Amino acid sequence: MNRRRLLCGAILASGLFAGPVLAADDLRVALIMTGPITDGGWAQLAYEGLQDLGETEGFETAYAENVGQVNIAQVVQGYADDGYDLIIGHGYEFGSAFIEIAPDYPDQHFFASTFQPQPEIPGNVGYVDLAYFDASYGAGVMAALISEDGRAVGYVGGGDNPTQQNMKAAFIAGAEATRDGLSGLGIITGDYDNAGRGREAAAAMIANGADVIWHGANVTGLGAIQGAVAEGAKVLGCYSNQTDVAAEAMGASFAMNLGWMVNEIANRTAAGDFPGGQEWAPKVTEMWSLQYGPEGTHNPDVVSDETWAVFQKAWQDLGSGAIDVAALLN
């Protein structure tokens, strides 16, 4: 069964969709998102994972979308008061909120899909390192491998924050470690939702020799892809499968397995293994996957079999920890 809580500034109503009769011991899971479930990426991927979970025996699911910052505490407490066993707050906005709310609900679990915000946290709250930096290093490797000129590759970032700065640094490190003489470039635009800035950033790096562009910047990143293709450069997608944005120039998309994350944390909670009081750190090879087209991993017209094999070695080394990106960034 899947419940949707309808919001408009505050909670207005609760909608109930038809479904099977629930067992008394079903784990009740609520997913709260600040964006819409039709965003094609961050929220939609998590929601699709929740849908899969709701079709699995032993789980009841509910969700709320487009929850504004001012309403987060109210919505979280609403689900907690309704007796949901696991409340997933999808995004950094829930990091501090859960620390304040969770102690009032010691028998329930709260999981935020963001870094742990402080050293000491309640035992019924969990966070996650989504392996952004390992994925970024891998994207740098891929970009360097598919560069034709071997001069430079570029990263277009969104908000000017530590995560984006470290993604840029990791991308550059991966690119420069892969190919001698190649330079990794990066521009943090300061905006996730400005396609024009993305196009300008891509064009600026292409003018400085970059012939492959990757991004971590949502709508700004889509602009970067469009700008790069207009300049004749190759591109890599990010967060979701972005093949349709530029199929011919796209080598692959580094897609986040957010649906897997939702299912994994729910199943761990049901098994009595909720990672409370800590930051869970799944491997990059679990949290991210390479996607192209409806079922592929990469574009064979851009990424040759030989190149793919070289990349796969680096990707597995990132997953096993043989390449320690955190050490490179510190």
String of DSSP letters for 67-111: --GGGHHHHHHHHHHTT-SEEEEESGGGHHHHHHHGGG-TTSEEE
Q: Is the dihedral of CA 209, 212, 217, 220 positive or negative?
A: positive
pTM (two decimals): 0.89
HSE-up (13 A, CA, CB side) for residue 249? 20
Cα 327 to Cα 330: distance, rounded to the nearest angstrom: 5
pLDDT tens over the chain, length 330 residues = 555 555 433 333 333 333 334 455 899 999 999 999 988 888 999 999 999 999 999 999 999 999 999 999 999 999 999 999 999 999 999 999 999 999 999 999 999 999 999 999 999 999 999 999 999 999 999 999 999 999 999 999 999 999 999 999 999 999 999 999 999 999 999 999 899 999 999 999 999 999 999 999 989 999 999 999 999 999 999 999 999 999 999 999 999 999 999 999 999 999 999 999 999 999 999 999 999 999 999 999 999 999 999 999 999 999 999 999 999 998
Q: Which pair of structure tokens corresponds to residue 98?
A: 């859960």
Query: What are the tokens at 211?
Result: 């012939």
